[in-house]
Structure formats: C-alpha cells, structure tokens
C-alpha cells in the first residue's frame, strides 16, 4: 500500500488489492476525494466532497476556526501522509494529521492536538461525505428495552428537516452541542439528540451490493456520532432528500465529534479514527467485529 504523489504534491494516489483512490491534503475539501471498491466498481465518496475531512475546531461556547481554511504543510514519510497546522491567533493549538494504511481495505487517520491556550471541552469535528447510493446506519444502544446494540437508520422527516441528529456517548457528551459553540457558525444546525451510541461506529452501505464503508473511533475520544439532515439557509437535505437527482445539492454525511476534553497549555491529545471497506453480512455483525478488533488493537498500543 503505497501513496504516489503527483508532480506538485497536491494529490496522493493509492491502489491496493481492493481499493483505488486519491487523498487531497490541501484546500477546503481535503481528505479522501476518490475511493473505488475495485471488485464492484463502486465509487464510495460524494463527487464534490471528501471522507475524513477535518472541519470545525470548537471549545466551550465558541467555534474557534475551520481547519479547512487554515494553511498547512504536507509531507510524505514512510508511506504516511502527514499534515501539520500551526497555531493561529484564533486557534491557539497545533494540529497534526496522519493518513496511514493498516491493510488493503483499512486506513487509519490519527489526529493530535497540541494546546497553547486553555480550551474547555475542546472538540474537533470530522466530516465524511459519502456517495448518494449508500445508506447510513449508526450503532446505537438498546435503551430501556434491550441491552443489545442495534443499527439506527436515519431518514428525512419533516420534524428533522432543519436539524442534525446527534448520537452521544452519554448525557454529559450530549450537552457539548448545546453550550453555544455553534452560535457563530454560518450554517447553524439545530441539534437534536437521539439515543446514545452503543459504540462510536457508523457505516454507509450499498443497498444492493453487500459493500459497506465502516467509520469508527475510540469511545474515550469520541463524544458523539452525528448525521446532518438539512441546512435550512441553503435548502439542502441529505439521504432521502428532495435533491437526490442533483448530487451537488444533496449530501450524505457522517460526522465524528472528537476529543471533548479540557485542554491546558502544553497539553497534547490524540484521537484515532479508522475507515474500513468490508463485505456486509445480513446480520450486520461484521462491522461490530471490525470495531472490536480496532479497540483491542488501540488498547494494546
């Protein structure tokens, strides 16, 4: 699994036995811009956006900056793409991202934040936009009725049209989105908390071909899994929206809220996210097996 840079270092192409694609480290739409499952020919990324795209940087009561707009430097070392953001006057923390292959179907993203200021409940908001043929599922707890995790499929309803659904780790994590940090964000979401997640685990699955993209993080560094339903100010909706005939108006996103911890100067925190492309079994147990293997691996490290 090797990354190959183009002549000016703006794109990094890759190809494994199962996947072919491109990572773009610069610009607003940095991240995985193309991801093709070779056996089926499925394109897994939204045509106009990216997977594993570092988006907003927030703390208690404020949105500090958009990582998409901050200058960064890129290096390719030991077949790992490393992206570095220096602290800015608005975001007094350094950021380091690495994209690294685990195997032919699995890519890890590691995010490290190095604080230069006090930031209560610091949060990095990671966005992934999937091809519109895929359908989202979020692994939620069983609530009062069942101890077993189950797969929640969000669909557009009039009640949710201008909202974003949040599946937090617990009650404390569920309050992060309501502490005022979204007030100065241009496209203001109306956050609606759903049930808690069972695991910080979500998939985007093709309804006909049993192929799924699995997105996961460690519960200690993932306060919530989120899914946006629509943006009222630009009349944009998501899965099962009014705009599925126009992929540039429709979105099919999943978001991971990362960190959520208080930071003090010289503090350093790391979060690890894994993206895997798998064959999906009918019982949908394989994604949970992949997640548990990831947690076992990270716990050992």
Question: Can you give the pLDDT at residue 230?
Answer: 42
DSSP string, 140-187: E--TTT-SS-EEE-----GGGTTEEEEEESSHHHHTGGGSSTTTT-SS
Give SS3 for 245: coil
Question: Can you give the pLDDT at residue 156?
Answer: 55
| Model confidence pLDDT, tens digit, residues 77-90 | 888 999 999 999 99
Question: Can you give the pLDDT at residue 240?
Answer: 47
| Model confidence pLDDT, tens digit, residues 158-212 | 445 556 789 999 999 999 988 989 887 865 566 778 789 999 999 999 989 999 9
How many domains does the structure of the chain reveal?
A: 1
- Those residues whose C-beta lies under 8 Å from the C-beta of residue 133, and which sit 6 or more positions away, are 42, 206, 207
Q: How confident is the model at residue 75 (pLDDT cuts 50, 70, 90)?
A: very high
pLDDT at 244 over 70: no
Q: Which residue has the higher pLDDT, 143 or 56?
A: 56
Question: Can you give the pLDDT at residue 186?
Answer: 64
Question: Can you give the pLDDT at residue 271?
Answer: 97
Q: Tell me the residue range of the domain where 104 lies.
A: 3-300
Question: Can you give the pLDDT at residue 242?
Answer: 52
Residue 47: CATH number of its domain: 2.70.98.90
Q: How confident is the model at residue 142 (pLDDT cuts 50, 70, 90)?
A: confident
Question: Can you give the pLDDT at residue 39?
Answer: 95
- Those residues whose C-beta lies under 8 Å from the C-beta of residue 250, and which sit 6 or more positions away, are 132, 236, 237, 238, 241, 243, 244
State what percent of residues in the chain have pLDDT above 70. 86
State what percent of residues in the chain have pLDDT above 90. 68
Q: For the ranges 119-123, 174-178, 262-266, 270-274, which has the lowest average pLDDT?
A: 174-178
């Amino acid at each position: 699994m090797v990354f190959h840079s183009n002549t000016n270092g703006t794109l990094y192409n890759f190809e494994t036995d199962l996947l072919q694609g491109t990572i773009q480290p610069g610009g607003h739409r940095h991240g995985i811009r193309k991801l093709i499952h070779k056996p089926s020919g499925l394109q897994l990324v939204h045509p106009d956006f990216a997977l594993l795209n570092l988006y907003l940087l927030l703390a208690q009561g404020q949105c500090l900056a958009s990582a998409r707009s901050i200058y960064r430097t890129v290096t390719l070392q030991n077949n790992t793409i490393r992206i570095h953001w220096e602290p800015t006057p608005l975001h007094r923390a350094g950021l380091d991202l690495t994209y690294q292959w685990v195997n032919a179907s699995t890519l890890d993203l590691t995010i490290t934040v190095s604080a230069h200021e006090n930031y209560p409940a610091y949060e990095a908001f990671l966005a992934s936009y999937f091809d519109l043929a895929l359908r989202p599922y979020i692994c939620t707890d069983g609530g009062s009725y069942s101890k077993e995790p189950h797969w929640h499929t969000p669909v557009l309803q009039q009640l949710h049209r201008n909202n974003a659904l949040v599946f937090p780790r617990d009650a404390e994590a569920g309050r992060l989105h309501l502490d005022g940090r979204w007030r100065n964000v241009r496209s203001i979401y109306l956050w609606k908390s759903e049930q808690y997640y069972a695991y910080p685990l979500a998939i985007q699955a093709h309804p006909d071909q049993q192929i799924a993209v699995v997105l996961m993080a460690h519960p200690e560094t993932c306060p919530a899994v989120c899914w946006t339903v629509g943006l009222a100010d630009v009349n944009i909706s998501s899965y099962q929206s009014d705009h599925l005939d126009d992929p540039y108006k429709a979105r099919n996103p999943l978001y991971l809220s990362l960190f959520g911890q208080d930071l003090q100067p010289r503090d350093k925190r790391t979060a690890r996210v894994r993206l895997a492309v798998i064959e999906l079994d009918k019982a949908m147990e394989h994604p949970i097996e992949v997640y548990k293997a990831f947690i076992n691996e990270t716990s050992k490290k």
